[in-house]
A and B are shown apart, each in its own frame.
Chain A
Amino acid sequence: MANLKIQSLSLQIESKILCRDLNVQIRENERWGLLGKNGVGKTTLLHALIGQRRTNQGSIQLDGVSVYDLKQRELASKVGILFQQGIEALPATVFETVILGRHPHTQSLLWDDPKDIQIAENALAAFDLDQLKERAVDTLSGGELQRLALAMLLAQTPQLFLLDEPSNHLDVAFQVKLLTVLTNKVADTSASMIMATHDINLAFRFCENIILLLEDGESLVGKSVDVLTEENLSQAYGCHIRSINSGERRLFYPA
């Protein structure tokens, strides 16, 4: 199972420092939320984790090997990412799209392995897309496209799920439903996940751990209950954020 170790990581775009000396260790079965205001570097950090942005300093190791030394295919078989912009509505069927998630694993050159087909179909079913299997992707709604992107990620069967704004294009009911499905799947396979989101409430509900990125490269790392406080969040977002405790839940709102 994937064990991700971020050590004294610094990231910079032009002269802007996104994070400085970040240390996080993510083990199997852990769910992490990645929070911070717009432009603070959440997406950049996720892209760095799949080797797509050179780091200034520090290391990112997956099971003891730097992500920059891993073969692209090997990395992709362990780490999967849902991009913020989701997937493009190209002319292809839903099934043709979801099975692309099997790309890093597939062994056969021409024919689709029955095992891959099965995994892809299960992934569609998990997000209630099995009825739309033969539909053209360019006829799907925004919400259906986002579910398809999630299904494709599930079909990739990664050990570490990286999610960039997974609740994009989803209504309130679907946000909770789909994240429940996804986190259950993550738990079923002893995988781990990092979810970048703007929704503090979703992060508190679905993630036990938090990376909160502040301005000027500072960051807070720890348990959700400890990091997600009025004081920390107000500092991170630069506006007053209040919280209400209700049983085990904690709800956040801008004052």
Chain B
Amino acid sequence: MIAQKQILLLSSLIVFSVASIIFSLLSGSVDISATQLAEGIFSTEPSLNAQVLQEIRLPRTLAAFVTGGLLALSGAIMQVLLRNPLADPYILGISGGAAVGALSAILVGATGFWLSNAAFVGALSSIFLVFGIANKFGNWSVTRLLLTGVVVSAGWGAVINILLTTSSTNNVQSMLFWLMGDLSQSRVNPAHYLLLLVGLVGGIFISRSLNVLIRGELLAVSLGVNVQSLRLLLFFSASVFTATAVTVAGSVGFVGLIIPHILRLLGARDHRILIPSCVLLGGSFLVMADSLARTLIAPQQLPVGVVTAVIGVPAFILILRSTIRK
């Protein structure tokens, strides 16, 4: 039953999302007041404020929102697929593959477009590698998928270490930023919004089946869920969301693992609520984290992945403690 409490949760998340975007647009080295914000963002005349807002802050803020939303969505899906609370978007080696792609690109001096493409190709090859191995004999089980993913991840980890130890200091700096997740170069295009929208709508569409599947394969089958095809759909959609997110922002940790758990602790156990909540809280959480990442030690920037952990860990512990006391 969708109770009033859950409607309240969704509405507060919408408010929080809007607030986080405004906060992000207001933070930075150029001081822009709230009134200037409204003018600057819709202004067609070239002014400094308009330029900062339209060309730097807004694209970066939106990139953060889309990335966070995709990661949290992917994390929630992986947790259902693998029926494991420790599952996160990266558990099946997607970020490892993307990292090897990205780091190799950095090694040969590629940036921007080519760096993103290399990361995306790395992520895709990891998806097919993991699924190909787990699926060797025509049938695949979740346990085998998980084990394969973890082992392939470890393999990518070794390659990443080789790349890091054999690269020049200059390159290592960029590589570490990529590995920790960094939004300073991030841009999103309409395809990214579309993907997030498809994930959101599609996720809500199958949320009843997710509610059943999380209770186990046999029960899901007995209640009429076509478990094999649902799992295929979940694996590939979560993989594509993750691959896209790491392509935009590097492997930002923590969002995909913790956001679904925070929401469940807040009462959003039903996937009809959990899925849209993940998109909203994942997005706004990363927007907030990125605002802090670029202001905390300005003019220097922190990798956003560091900030997600720094504010995520205490936030998670607080919520965990407050819900246990009840």
Interface of B with A (CB < 8 Å)? 1-2, 204-205, 208-209, 211-212, 214-216, 218-219, 221-226, 264, 269-270, 272
Bound Cα distance A100, B271 (Å) = 13
Q: Chain A residues with Cβ under 8 A from B219's Cβ? A: 83, 87
User: Chain B nearest CB: distance from A51 CB in Å?
Assistant: 8
Using CB atoms, name the residue of chain B closest to A99.
Answer: B1
User: Chain B nearest CB: distance from A90 CB in Å?
Assistant: 6
Interface of A with B (CB < 8 Å)? 47, 50, 52, 71-77, 80-81, 83, 87-88, 90-92, 95-96, 99-101, 103-104, 106, 109-112, 117, 156
The reply to whether A76 and B1 form a contact with Cβ atoms under 8 Å apart is no
The reply to whether A83 and B2 form a contact with Cβ atoms under 8 Å apart is no
Q: Chain B residues with Cβ under 8 A from A73's Cβ? A: 224-226
Bound Cα distance A91, B264 (Å) = 9
30 residue pairs bridging A and B, Cβ less than 8 Å apart? A52-B218, A52-B221, A72-B224, A72-B225, A72-B226, A73-B224, A76-B221, A76-B222, A76-B224, A83-B218, A83-B219, A87-B219, A88-B216, A90-B214, A90-B215, A91-B269, A95-B1, A96-B269, A100-B211, A100-B223, A103-B208, A103-B209, A103-B223, A103-B224, A103-B225, A104-B223, A104-B224, A109-B205, A110-B2, A111-B2
User: Chain B nearest CB: distance from A155 CB in Å?
Assistant: 10
User: Chain A nearest CB: distance from B273 CB in Å?
Assistant: 10
Nearest 6 CB-CB pairings of A with B? A76-B224, A104-B224, A73-B224, A103-B223, A72-B226, A81-B222
Add 16 more A-B contacts to A72-B221, A81-B222 (CB < 8 A).
A52-B221, A73-B226, A74-B224, A75-B224, A76-B224, A88-B215, A88-B216, A91-B264, A96-B269, A99-B1, A100-B212, A101-B223, A104-B223, A109-B204, A111-B2, A156-B223
Using CB atoms, name the residue of chain A closest to B230.
Answer: A72
The reply to whether A112 and B222 form a contact with Cβ atoms under 8 Å apart is no
Bound Cα distance A112, B223 (Å) = 16
User: Chain A nearest CB: distance from B182 CB in Å?
Assistant: 35
The reply to whether B2 and A112 form a contact with Cβ atoms under 8 Å apart is yes
Using CB atoms, name the residue of chain B closest to A78.
Answer: B224
Q: Chain A residues with Cβ under 8 A from B209's Cβ? A: 103
Bound Cα distance A156, B222 (Å) = 10
Bound Cα distance A24, B117 (Å) = 61
Asked, given contacts A103-B223, A103-B225, A110-B204, whether A96 binds B1 with beta carbons under 8 Å apart, the answer is yes
User: Chain A nearest CB: distance from B113 CB in Å?
Assistant: 39
Bound Cα distance A110, B206 (Å) = 10
Bound Cα distance A88, B270 (Å) = 16
Q: Chain A residues with Cβ under 8 A from B2's Cβ? A: 110-112
Using CB atoms, name the residue of chain B closest to A104.
Answer: B224
Q: Chain A residues with Cβ under 8 A from B1's Cβ? A: 95-96, 99, 112, 117
Bound Cα distance A134, B207 (Å) = 21
Using CB atoms, name the residue of chain B closest to A75.
Answer: B224
User: Chain B nearest CB: distance from A189 CB in Å?
Assistant: 18
Bound Cα distance A47, B222 (Å) = 9
Interface centre among B204, B221, B222, B270 (most CB of A within 10 A): B222
User: Chain B nearest CB: distance from A150 CB in Å?
Assistant: 14
Asked, given contacts A111-B2, A112-B1, whether A80 binds B216 with beta carbons under 8 Å apart, the answer is no
The reply to whether B272 and A110 form a contact with Cβ atoms under 8 Å apart is yes
User: Chain B nearest CB: distance from A69 CB in Å?
Assistant: 14
The reply to whether B224 and A96 form a contact with Cβ atoms under 8 Å apart is no
Bound Cα distance A78, B214 (Å) = 23
Q: Chain A residues with Cβ under 8 A from B221's Cβ? A: 50, 52, 72, 76
Q: Chain B residues with Cβ under 8 A from A112's Cβ? A: 1-2
Q: Chain B residues with Cβ under 8 A from A109's Cβ? A: 204-205, 208
Bound Cα distance A111, B208 (Å) = 10
User: Chain A nearest CB: distance from B161 CB in Å?
Assistant: 38
User: Chain A nearest CB: distance from B165 CB in Å?
Assistant: 44
User: Chain B nearest CB: distance from A77 CB in Å?
Assistant: 7
Bound Cα distance A106, B218 (Å) = 19
Bound Cα distance A112, B211 (Å) = 13
Interface centre among B219, B264, B269, B272 (most CB of A within 10 A): B219
